[in-house]
Amino acid sequence: MGKIEWAMWANEQALAAGLIYATGGIVGVAGQFRGWQFAAFGIAAGVFVCLLEYPRSKRGKGTSVERTGQYCFTVCVNAFGPLTRNYYVRAFLHAALCVPGGFMLATVLGCVCLGIASLIYLSAAIHGEHWEPILPRTEPPKRVGDSIKEPPQNPPPRPPPELRRKKADKLETAAYDNPMSVTVNE
């Protein structure tokens, strides 16, 4: 069995956790629970995590399946370079984002789910995985070779002289000179 790709599972988890975090935050803010500021933070953090996790990484081996419409997200996430490519950074970022959620009941679920996702990302980072953008492959345009500009130096190959000779009575109409002399009876 090939290696398990932990990052793929962590990605799905983080996306779902972001949604749960944001929903818990909405409930907390709408219900005006005590500590609704944490809920507001939860909404922001949840949305941010969703945007960060939406573009899938390219798989190490095998075909990668993109999520619908992920190209623009891929470009944005790729622009941050090593910050987003490295899974250690992601693991610590998720761990940091999930902590404020633990202070309020409505966001506690989001906190725990994001924490689990952060642990799986840590495991992925330890296994040496990193995020690769799925970019459309640009085919190199088929270019005609430069040699098309140079005319040939040599004439095309011809059959050996014995086969090229013309009969003596057709010498006048021949297109080329006979390579060897011919007599009438040949």
Partner 1 sequence: MSVALKSWRANEGPKHLITMVWIAANVFLFWKTFMVYFSEAQYYYLHKMLGLGLCISRASASVLNFNCSLVLLPMCRSLLTFLRGSQRLLNRRTVFHTCLTYAVIVLVHVSAHLVNMVSFSVRYSEDFPGLNVAQYRGQVTHTDTHMDIFFPGVTGVLLVLVLFLMFTASSYCIRVSSYEIFWYTHNLFIVFYVILMVHVAGGALKYQSNVETHPPGCVQNNLSSWTNHRAAGEKGTESSGAPQTVCQEEARFQPHFPQTWLWVSAPLCLYCAERFYRFIRSSAAPVTIVSVISHPCSVVELRMLKSGFKPHPGQYILLNCPSVSSFENHPFTLTTVSPFVLVWKCVFLPTCNISNLTVCCAFSSHPRVHVDGPFGSPSEEVFNYEVSLCVAGGIGVTPFACVLQALFDDWRQYKLKRLYFVWVCRDLQSFYWFADLLCGLHERLWRDNRPDYLNVQLYLSNTQGLQSISEERYRFLSSRLRIGRPKWKLIFQEIGRANQLKRVGVFCCGPKGISKALHTLCNSNPHTETAFEYNKESFS
**76 vs 105 by CB, closer to partner 1:** 105
Task: Name the burial class of residue 19, with classes exposed (0-12), middle (13-18) and buried (19+) by CB atoms within 10 angstroms of its CB.
Answer: middle
| Binding flag, residue 65, partner 1 (CB under 8 A) | yes
Token duo for residue 80 = 């941050």
| Binding flag, residue 2, partner 1 (CB under 8 A) | yes
Interface residues for partner 1 in 112-131 (CB under 8 A)? 112-113, 116
Task: Count interface residues toward partner 1 (CB under 8 A).
Answer: 30
Q: How far is the CB of 126 from partner 1 (least distance, A)?
A: 16
Q: How far is the CB of 92 from partner 1 (least distance, A)?
A: 20
Nearest Cα to Cα of residue 106 among 45, 46, 17, 38: 38
| Binding flag, residue 144, partner 1 (CB under 8 A) | no
Quickly tell me which residue has 């972001």 as its tokens.
18
- Binding segment for partner 1 (CB under 8 A), chosen from 59-67, 89-97, 130-138, 156-164, is 59-67
Residues 6+ apart with CB under 8 A from 90: 52, 84, 118, 121, 125, 131
Backbone angles phi, psi at 180, to 5 degrees: -140, 155
Contact yes or no for 106/23 (Cβ under 8 A)? no
9 to 48: interface string for partner 1, x by CB under 8 A = x--xx--xx--x--xx--xx--xxxx--------------
CA distances, 104 to each of 10, 107, 177 (Å)? 24, 6, 103
| Binding flag, residue 109, partner 1 (CB under 8 A) | yes
- Binding segment for partner 1 (CB under 8 A), chosen from 71-79, 104-112, 166-174, 175-183, is 104-112
> Cα separation of 131 and 81, whole Å?
10
> Cα separation of 51 and 15, whole Å?
8
**109 vs 182 by CB, closer to partner 1:** 109
Q: How far is the CB of 143 from partner 1 (least distance, A)?
A: 23
Q: Which residues bind partner 1 (CB under 8 A)?
A: 1-2, 4-5, 8-9, 12-13, 16-17, 20, 23-24, 27-28, 31-34, 56, 59, 62, 65, 105-106, 108-109, 112-113, 116
